[in-house]
Amino acid sequence: MQSRRWMMVAAMGLASLVALSGCKPKKTTTGLGPDGGLLNGGRTNGITDIDMPGGRPPGGALEMAGQYIPVYFEYDSAQVQSAERSKIEAVGDYLKHNSAGGVIIEGHCDERGSREYNLALGERRAMAVRAYLVSLGADGVRIQTKSFGKEKPVALGHDEESWSKNRRGEFVIFK
Amino acid sequence: MMTKTGEWRTTFLSGGGLRRGLGPRTWTAGLALLFAALSTASAQTQGMVRVRKPMGQKATLDGAAFTASAGAGAEFRRTLQEDLDRSGWFMPGAPGRSEYALVGTAGASGADVSAQVQFSQVAQQQLLLSKRYGAPSGDVRRMAHRVADDILAAMGRKGMFSARIVMVGTHSGSKELYVCDADGGNLLQITSDHSISVAPHWGPDGHLIAYTSYVRRYPDVYLINLATRGRQVIANYTGLNTGGAFSPDGQSMALILSKDGHQGLYVRAVSGGAPVRIFDAPRAALASPAWSPDGGQIVFVSDQAGTCRPQLYAITRHGGAPRRLTTSGSQNVAPNWGANGLIAYASLMGRFQVCVLDPSTLASKVISPGDGDYEDPSWAPDGRHIVCSRTVNYRSQIYLLDTLGDAPVALTTSPGDWYSPAITAR
């Protein structure tokens, strides 16, 4: 199930920055409405950004997921297994031959354990992949890490077969 | 028709005893002290009435003479009754033979509901509370919650029913923030981001919510002001931005950031400024910072003892060497440091169970009954109850746990999963 799939995603960073000008305060009501929230569609007023040392891919950058095979991890590990290294080396080759943009490494975990701890564990996994890329000579500034913890599983079963697919680092190329 | 006395019976209080297997005789001295501390902490607030009940014991309450008209009056009475039952301090008592009595009336007049409430200690012939309340009919439940908290305060207890819970719900198909009352009522959707929301935290005044969101595609920490309905970025550095726990004075926030190439625990002023790193974890995963009630320490999760073996550590807010708090169990996570000085957390024991730890003795005790995964505990302002999630067959709901032994109560019943609750300090 690791066939290479190409998916191009136009970044939507700008859409979430639209200022909310006409938001009237809503009276609190019981029950759920599909749009009963205070904040709609990710639009809010008063968003204030602070500096981002290192920077992130600019809003509107072209992102391509699925071009490279994910790296898989053992249950109790954030170490890159030796058998997985060639997958990272392929991304290193890409970075070497393409000077524009860079790569986002998405770190994921299986469903076991607390959500917040898994968020941190996913970041450790992404950073381990990043460290190996840097050791191959890649410029760290071009490598972003993004942990999803256990929030975005690819396999939805509750057994080791699914868990092993979910403990992964995915590569998203951006230009 | 049920008698009025009968209506004051409760369905989930089973005589006020301690949960089986956890009776006083089985406790070690340390654990007994731990929960003696818990019990006195909730009784020491006021000098007006001294409650000398052993922990877990309930006082008899006669509410038979409290009358309510149909509609809003009846809803007021029912809500107040449920709150007082749920407080854990009362059991139904017969007229003339109860320690406490509640008399008065509640009814609607036009678009408003009003109530006259008198609460007294019968044998002492002491009137502890006599007050008139009014509110728009739509706020009848919140009015009843306020009355319940006033009654508890009048007998020297802290209440929890005016508090509000923020949590993550999947009802809409994405992971949004919702707010509800302490009894699960008044459910309101806060975000409509169509994204992933993680780990909401209240500011101490109950107007601010900090949380981690992927609404701009990366895990960043945001601050929502419920009063102004504005949202701002607190941390969106390269890498992981999470945490977002407010200090008890509301001035500072604890964050987990990986902007420096590895994970660290940081503190920054809520009003702005650069985060100050107080703990560095070059080879560890950090999570779930929470403040001590005096604001002097932060408890957090680190797996520096082994990957997938996260444990609790405490550190001063200015840094230094962290002190490990948990030594047994493969995973101890999601700490929440109550105003009573005790740390609630989740420990993996086959399933996750909510435990309570005394950070001075490191004695701990299991609170949840074991019939599911109980996670993400948050101390209620009464210092007795804990709000948490309970997961059974991969479905999660929000539950209220009683550290003194009453049975858990489901607070959410709507479709979808509900988890990561946090309850306000008041």
pLDDT digits (tens, 9 = 90+) for A81-113: 999 999 999 999 999 999 999 999 999 999 999
Cβ contacts (< 8 Å) between B346 and chain A: which residues? 114
Residue A77 contacts B, CB cutoff 8 Å: yes
Q: In this structure, how many other beta carbons lie within 10 angstroms of the beta carbon of residue B1?
A: 5
- Segment B198-227 shows an average pLDDT of 95
Question: How far apart (Å, rounded) are the C-alpha atoms in residues B165 and B81?
Answer: 20
pLDDT of A21 over the 60 cut: no
Residues 80-109 of A with CB under 8 A from B: none
Higher-scoring residue by pLDDT: B21, B227: B227
Residue A61 contacts B, CB cutoff 8 Å: no
Q: What is the pLDDT of residue B55?
A: 54
B219, A147: Cβ pair inside 8 Å? Answer: yes
Beta strand pairing call for B351-357 and B343-349: antiparallel
Of B226, B233, B348, the CB nearest to A49: B233
For residue B263, give the H/E element and its range: strand B263-269
pLDDT of B339 over the 90 cut: yes
pLDDT of B27 over the 50 cut: no
Q: Among residues of chain A, what percentage have pLDDT more than 70?
A: 67
pTM score above 0.80: yes
Q: In this structure, how many other beta carbons lie within 10 angstroms of the beta carbon of residue B207?
A: 14
- Segment B362-388 shows an average pLDDT of 97
DSSP output for A62-84 = EEEESSSPPEE--TT--SPPGGG
CA distance A35 to chain B (A): 7
B307, A78: Cβ pair inside 8 Å? Answer: yes
Return the amino acid letter for B115: A
- Tally C-beta pairs within 8 A across A and B: 196
Calculate the CA dihedral of residues B149, B45, B378, B317 and round it to 10 degrees: 140
Q: Which band of pLDDT confidence, cut at 50, 70 and 90, is reported for residue A56?
A: confident
Q: In this structure, how many other beta carbons lie within 10 angstroms of the beta carbon of residue A55?
A: 11
| Lowest-pLDDT choice from A58-67, A115-124, B319-328 | A58-67
Cβ contacts (< 8 Å) between A54 and chain B: which residues? 237-238, 259
Question: How far apart (Å, rounded) are the C-alpha atoms in residues B289 and B275?
Answer: 14
Cβ contacts (< 8 Å) between A50 and chain B: which residues? 233-236, 272
> Which residue out of A27, A75, A109, A114 would a mutagenesis test of the B interface target, given it has the greatest number of B Cβ atoms within 10 Å?
A114
Higher-scoring residue by pLDDT: B392, B23: B392
Which of A143-152, B8-17, B225-234 shows the highest mean pLDDT?
A: A143-152
DSSP output for B205-216 = TSSEEEEEE-TT
A114, B333: Cβ pair inside 8 Å? Answer: yes
Q: What's the Cα-to-Cα distance from B211 to each of A31, B202, B255, B302, B422, rounded to whole Å?
A: 23, 9, 11, 20, 11
- Average pLDDT over chain A reads 76
B238, A39: Cβ pair inside 8 Å? Answer: no
Cβ-based neighbours of B107, under 8 Å, separated by 6 or more: B68, B69, B72, B73, B113, B114, B115
Cβ contacts (< 8 Å) between B310 and chain A: which residues? 113-114, 117
Q: What is the pLDDT of residue A55?
A: 59
What is the b/e burial string over B165-191, where b = at least 16 CB atoms within 10 angstroms of the residue's CB?
Answer: bbbbbebbeebbbbbbbbbbbbbbbbb
pLDDT of A22 over the 80 cut: no
Picking from B314, B280, B276, the residue whose alpha carbon sits closest to that of residue B296 is B314
Higher-scoring residue by pLDDT: A88, A26: A88
B45 neighbors B157 (Cβ within 8 angstroms): yes
Question: How far apart (Å, rounded) are the C-alpha atoms in residues B314 and B306?
Answer: 17
Question: How far apart (Å, rounded) are the C-alpha atoms in residues B253 and B233?
Answer: 13
- Give φ, ψ of B40 to 5 degrees: -70, -30
CA distance B294 to chain A (A): 24
Q: Among residues of chain B, what percentage have pLDDT more than 90?
A: 84
Of B193, B214, B239, the CB nearest to A123: B239
B238, A56: Cβ pair inside 8 Å? Answer: yes
The token pair at B395 is 């479905």
A117, B288: Cβ pair inside 8 Å? Answer: yes
Q: Which band of pLDDT confidence, cut at 50, 70 and 90, is reported for residue B80?
A: very high
Question: How far apart (Å, rounded) are the C-alpha atoms in residues B335 and B342?
Answer: 10
CA distance B214 to chain A (A): 9
pLDDT of A115 over the 50 cut: yes
DSSP output for A87-140 = HHHHHHHHHHH--SSEEEEEEE--S-S-HHHHHHHHHHHHHHHHHHHHHTT--G
Q: What is the pLDDT of residue B119?
A: 98
- Average pLDDT over chain B reads 88
Residues 107-166 of A with CB under 8 A from B: 113-117, 119-121, 123-124, 127, 140, 144-149, 151-152, 158
Q: From B168, which residue of chain A is nearest by alpha-carbon distance?
A: A115
Question: How far apart (Å, rounded) are the C-alpha atoms in residues A118 and B352?
Answer: 15
Picking from A116, A137, A126, the residue whose alpha carbon sits closest to that of residue A167 is A126
Condensed to tens digits (0 to 9), the pLDDT of residues B53-77 reads: 455 589 999 999 999 999 999 999 9
- Segment B181-202 shows an average pLDDT of 95
Report CA torsion sign: B252, B253, B254, B255: negative
Q: Which band of pLDDT confidence, cut at 50, 70 and 90, is reported for residue A170?
A: very high
A115, B261: Cβ pair inside 8 Å? Answer: no
Cβ contacts (< 8 Å) between A23 and chain B: which residues? 229
Q: What's the Cα-to-Cα distance from B124 to each of B61, B99, B259, rounded to whole Å?
A: 14, 9, 63
B263 class by beta-carbon count within 10 Å (0-12 exposed, 13-18 middle, 19+ buried)? buried
| Lowest-pLDDT choice from A132-141, B1-10, B373-382 | B1-10
Q: Which band of pLDDT confidence, cut at 50, 70 and 90, is reported for residue A23?
A: very low
Higher-scoring residue by pLDDT: B204, A36: B204
B346 neighbors B332 (Cβ within 8 angstroms): yes
pLDDT of B23 over the 90 cut: no
Q: What is the pLDDT of residue B124?
A: 94
Residue A170 contacts B, CB cutoff 8 Å: no
Q: Any bridge partners for residue A24, and if so which?
A: none
Q: What is the pLDDT of residue A40?
A: 36
Beta strand pairing call for B66-68 and B100-109: parallel
Predicted complex ipTM: 0.88
Q: What's the Cα-to-Cα distance from B174 to each of A109, B210, B240, rounded to whole Å?
A: 19, 18, 21
